[in-house]
Amino acid sequence: MNSCSSLGIGLAGFGTVGSGVWNTLHRNGDLITGRTGGDVRLHVAKILVRDPAKARATTGDVPAELFTTDWNTLVADPAVDIVVELIGGTTDAFDIVAAALRAKKPVVTGNKALLAERGVELFALSREFDTPIHFEAAVAGGIPIIRTVQDSFIGNRILSFSGIINGTSNYILGRMTDAALTFEAALAEAQALGYAEADPALDVNGWDAAHKAILLATLAYGFPIDPKSIHVSGIEQVRPTDIHFAKSLGYVVKLLAVIREHPDGAVELRLQPSFIPKSHILASVHGVFNAVAVHGDAAGESLFYGRGAGQDPTASSAVADLVEAARSLRQTTGHRGFLPYRENGRILPVAETSTAYYVRFDVTDRPGVIAEVAKILADHRIGISGTHSPVNPDNPDAEFLDMVFLLHTCPFGKLQTALDAIEQLDCINSKPVVFRIETLA
């Protein structure tokens, strides 16, 4: 460790979040030192970038000698005590984090994909070299949900999480609800405002939120989770028709993460567009905000709400982890990053999960369609609570239309079997679209 009074930070990545970390330390460095009783002094010692000449929005001038284009130089620099990985991806980022751990330099990362997909390897290195990985910035931006689960809920058996943990999808669904925009129009607006990337795939297909959900579940239940074992569905197929139906039934549509431990110890983990009651507090989460409801057996239900992305909120979480990492270096308090405490656990197959459902079919408009679909559902012992076939006022004589079925609670596997049979009907023109109807009790 650097013998100077100030600990050196190696910033791997100097984009939106990396420059936000620089700005926060430049602006609030003295405040951080004062709040830690003079125990933590931080300075940026090295910065990894692809293009040192690129203009960046930073507070104060960044000395040119801090920049490097070689990550090995950053990790090996004796002036660097803590490595902050903010480059994204799962290849170079993995190499940087692994090298830092082997050098016994604590790591701070906001890379949820890296930890969800390669966390098993990295946490093993963390244990082997007794060097922590801190990752508050990887989930829900500025909301301190990771530290809350690690520390404040340490005495609780966590019964469930339910949450909105992707701000881009929440903004899109909100605009579809409030302004009656199509998905395509709402996405274009989000991109114009900088809320969505030019390639928004990970946000709208659900996998950005799914990676975060995997990290929460791993923290709560202590075993590594294979991303292939969970069910993920995005918002690409949400239409104004679905938004309208949700409103008329007293629901709103949200991209919802559900994590729940069952009595036999199996963990339910799924991510999908869902109808949630307007009366539930998560229905009031608007714009790019995130919220996570945590239900502990001792604490009961708690809600954590805040900005889920952006330079300052995410940098705030990264700096909090920096302070934690610095304290662990200054004071020998043992390993403070996450270490799995179970070798394995069981993810409940999605086929065994149960809710009520909203199902939309694209059908050819002819007599008997409802009866044909209803018969197959009845054959599979799935109850129907309502049906509707809206007429397009702009084309009342259309040959094709959307037909909606509201279905009673049943296992998802049973529903899928029935839908496979329904898809074979000659009146069904495309794959049915399914939304969960959540009670969130």
Whether 212 is catalytic is yes
Residues 6+ apart with CB under 8 A from 395: none
Q: Say whether 313 sits in a helix, a strand or coil.
A: helix
Q: Say whether 329 sits in a helix, a strand or coil.
A: helix
3-state helix, strand, coil in the chain (%, to 5): 40, 25, 35
The pair of three-digit structure tokens given for residue 376, joined into one six-digit string: 């197959």
CA angle 98, 102, 103 (to 5 degrees): 115
CA distance 131 to 101: 6
Pairing of strands 67-68, 42-48: parallel
Q: Where are the alpha helices (DSSP H) in 167-310?
A: 167-178, 183-192, 201-204, 207-221, 240-248
Give which of 345, 377, 359, 327 is closest to 436, Cα–Cα: 359
Residues 6+ apart with CB under 8 A from 131: 100, 101, 104, 105, 106, 107, 125, 335, 337
Helix (H) or strand (E) holding 233: none
The DSSP result for 335-354, as a single string, is --S-----S---BPPGGG-E
Answer whether 234's CB lies under 8 Å from 435's CB. no
From residue 294, alpha-carbon distances to 56, 141, 260, 282, 300 in Å are 38, 17, 10, 12, 8
Which candidate in 112, 212, 247, 375 is catalytic? 212
Report, as residue numbers or ranges, the catalytic residues: 212
